[in-house]
Structure 1
Amino acid sequence: MNRARPSPQRGFSLIVVLLMLLIAMVLGIGAAQVSLVGERSARNDRDAEVAFQAAEAALVDAERDVLGPNQAAAQRLCLFNSRDVSAFVAGCGGAGIHQGLCTQAEDGAKPVWITADFAAESRTSVAYGTFTNHTYATANAGARGGALSARAPRYIVEAVRNLGGWQSSQLQSAGARNASHLFRVTAIGYGVRDETQVVLQTSLYKPAASPGCPS
C-alpha cells in the first residue's frame, strides 16, 4: 500500500503568504512613521507661528511704550527723548521705570540683545503690558493652552546713536551736543512650548518729545 506524499506547493504557498504579511507590516510601520513625522512637523509649524505672533505683539507693545499713545498710569513716555538718553543704563540693569532700557554696546562687544536676560523673572527685560496696562493671553502655568503662548512675550529697548539720520538726505552732526538716537527694540515671543522662541527687532524714530514732556 503506497502512502500519498504531500505536495511541495503547499509549503511554498505558506512562504509566499508570510512574505506578503511581512511586506504589509513594513508598509504599515512606514506609513505610521510618515504620519507621525507629518504631525510633528505641523505641530512645530504651529508652535513657531504662535511664537512669531507673540513677538510681533511685543513689538507693538514696545511701540506704545516708546512713541505712544499710552494712557496707562505706569507710562514712561518722557524717558524716550532722542537727545537725552540718560535713563538708559549699561546691561539693561535699570529698575522700576528704567527696566529694560539699555545703552548701546561698545564697539567690538556682543550686541546687547544677545546678552540680555529675557527670563520670566528678569528685571532687565520688560514683560508685555508692564508699562501699557495691556494683557496678553497665555497658557496657564503647567498646562497646555492650545494655540496660546506658554508665557508672555518680553522686550528691551536700546538707545542707538543715530549716525546718519533717519532720512538719507539729512545727515546728523558728529558733535556730541547735537547727537540724536534711535530706539532699537528687540522682542522675544514664545510658542505653546516654552523652548520655541522667535526674536524680532525694529528701530523706532522719535523726532520730538511726547506731549507734556520736556523737549
Structure 2
Amino acid sequence: MSRTAHTAQRGFSLIVVLLMLTIAMVLGIGAAQVSLVGERSARNDRDTEIAFQAAEAALIDAERDVLGPNASTAQRLCLFNGKDVSAFVPGCGGTGIRQGLCAQGEPGAKPVWMSADFAAESATSVAYGTFTGQTYAAGNAATGVRAGTLPARAPRYIVEAVRNLGGWQSSQLQSASVRNASHLFRVTAIGYGMREETQVVLQTSLYKSAASPGCPS
C-alpha cells in the first residue's frame, strides 16, 4: 500500500471517530435535557398537588366556619343565616368578625371572587383557622420563612352571600319575593404550593337555611 493511500485511510478514520463522538455528545445532551424536563415536570406536579390540598383544606375550614361544628372562641356561626345576610359587606370590606364576608356583586359586574384580595396580610380574606382555631403547617412568605415541602403560606378564603334563585332541590322553585329570599354561601379558597406563585383556586356552595342553634332566629 502506498504512503498516500495509508494517509488517506487514517484521515478517513479520524473523520469517522469525530462524527461518532459528535453523535454521542448530541445524544447525551438530549438525554440530559429530557431528564431535566422530566424532573421539572415532576416538581411542578408536586407543587400543584400541594396547592390543591391546601385549597381543599381551606374549603373544609370555611365549611366549619359557616356550618359548624365550631367550638372555637372566635367562632361566628350566628352571622351565617340564609335569610339574613346583613353581615356581608360590598367588596369584602368587613372588619373583625365580618372579615372575608362578601355581599353579592351587581348584576353583570365582575364576580366578587375574581377581584378579592387574597394577599398574605389581607383584611378582606380569611386565613386558615382564623375563626375555627385550626392550624395548617405552612411557611410564611411575608417573613421569608420556608417550610420544606409544605405550602409557602397558609391558604385563605372568602365567603359570598349569593341569592338563591331556586330551591335547594332542583325540582322546586322558590318565591321571588324579597320576604322569601334566601341565600347560598359561596366559598372561594386559594391554596399555595412550595412556591407562592403556584396557586390553586377551588369553590363550593354551602346551604344554611337558618341560623345555628342558640343564635337569634
- Within 1, Cα distance between the matches of 2:215 and 2:183? 17
Q: Which runs of 5+ in 1 are unaligned?
A: none
Q: TM-score, normalised by structure 2?
A: 0.95
Letter in 1 for 2:203: Q
Q: Deviations over 1:67-93 (max 9, x none)?
A: 000000000000001111000000000
Distance across 1 between alignment mates of 2:132 and 2:117: 21
Give the deviation of 1:143 after TM superposition. 4.9
How far apart, CA to CA, are the structure 1 residues paired with 2:108 and 2:127? 29
3-state SS of paired residue (2:144)? coil
Q: Does 1:169 align with 2:137?
A: no
After superposition, residues 1-215 of structure 1 pair within 5 angstroms as 4-5=3-4, 6-139=6-139, 141-215=143-217
Write the deviation string for residues 135-165 of structure 1: whole angstroms up to 9, x where unpaired. 0001355354332000000000000011101
Distance between the aligned counterparts of 1:112 and 1:36, measured in 2? Answer: 40
Calculate the aligned-residue CA RMSD, in Å.
1.3
TM-score, L = length of structure 1: 0.96
**What is the rounded CA distance, in whole Å, between the counterparts of 1:161 and 1:149 in structure 2?**
34
Kindly indicate whether the alpha-carbon contact (under 8 Å) linking 2:139 and 2:154 is maintained by their aligned counterparts in 1: no
Mark the runs of 5 or more structure 2 residues left unpaired by the alignment. Answer: none
Which amino acid letter does the alignment assign opposite residue 165 of structure 2? L
Distance 1:168 1:143 in 2: 47
How far the C-alpha of 1:7 sits from its partner, in A, is: 3.0
Q: Which amino acid aligns with 1:120?
A: A
